[in-house]
């Protein structure tokens, strides 16, 4: 098999809990929710486990937590600390395409035109859009409770702003 037929998913940073989950520092911008079922290899290969299948991925405090079928307990997970997780390139899901929202118009269902997105602030929890318009600068959290629809074709974002997001309201 060709060497470039494999790609690194990430590095095992630490164990999590007693059931063999491992915290992974991702090396690639992959949709982690699509990694379940993926066959993986560990490099350098520890003596206890060399390969496995991802049975689940969930958010963790410092990165995604992987459950792997051949890692049933804490002791086995400990042997993976520092290992790189590899997967076949052909098995990897496509990286999520980033939508460039800068320049899009933001419209609130109650207040109407809010303005134009001028910047995106990336935070640990969610992105925040910086919008300039008739209400001055408005910081809009990119969360399901606020963002109703993003229409790429028209360049419009429809939102339902939470109380307190516009200064003076």
Distance CA 142, CA 147 (A): 6
Residue 34 has what pLDDT? Answer: 84
Q: How do the pLDDT tens digits run along the chain, 169 residues long?
A: 455 688 899 999 999 999 999 999 988 777 787 889 999 999 998 888 899 999 999 988 878 999 999 999 999 999 999 999 999 988 887 654 566 889 999 999 999 999 999 998 887 678 899 999 999 999 999 898 999 999 988 999 999 999 888 887 7
CA quadruple 108, 98, 125, 17: dihedral sign? positive
Fold of 105-159: SH3 type barrels. (2.30.30)
The CATH topology of domain 3-91 is: Elongation Factor Tu (Ef-tu); domain 3 (2.40.30)
Residues of each domain in the chain carrying CATH 2.40.30.60: 3-91
Q: What is the pLDDT of residue 47?
A: 84
Domain with CATH 2.30.30.240 in the chain: 105-159
Which DSSP letter does residue 74 get? H
What's residue 96's pLDDT?
46
**How far is Cα 95 from Cα 29, in angstroms, rounded to an integer?**
6
CA angle 113, 114, 116 (to 5 degrees): 100
Any idea which residue has 């395409």 for tokens? Answer: 97
pLDDT reported for residue 1: 45
């Amino acid at each position: 098999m060709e060497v470039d037929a494999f790609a690194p998913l990430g590095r095992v940073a630490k164990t999590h809990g007693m059931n063999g989950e491992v915290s992974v520092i991702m090396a690639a911008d992959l949709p982690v929710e699509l990694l379940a079922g993926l066959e993986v290899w560990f490099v350098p290969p520890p003596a206890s486990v060399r390969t496995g299948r991802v049975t689940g991925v969930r958010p963790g405090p410092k990165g995604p937590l992987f459950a792997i079928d051949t890692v049933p307990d804490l002791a086995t997970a400990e042997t993976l600390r520092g290992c790189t997780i590899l997967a076949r390139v052909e098995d990897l899901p496509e990286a999520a395409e980033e939508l460039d929202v800068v320049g899009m118009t933001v419209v609130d269902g109650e207040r109407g035109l809010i303005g134009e997105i001028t910047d995106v602030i990336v935070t640990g929890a969610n992105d925040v859009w910086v919008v300039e318009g008739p209400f001055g600068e408005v910081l809009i959290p990119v969360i399901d409770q606020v963002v109703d629809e993003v229409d790429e074709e028209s360049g419009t974002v429809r939102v339902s702003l939470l109380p307190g997001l516009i200064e003076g309201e």
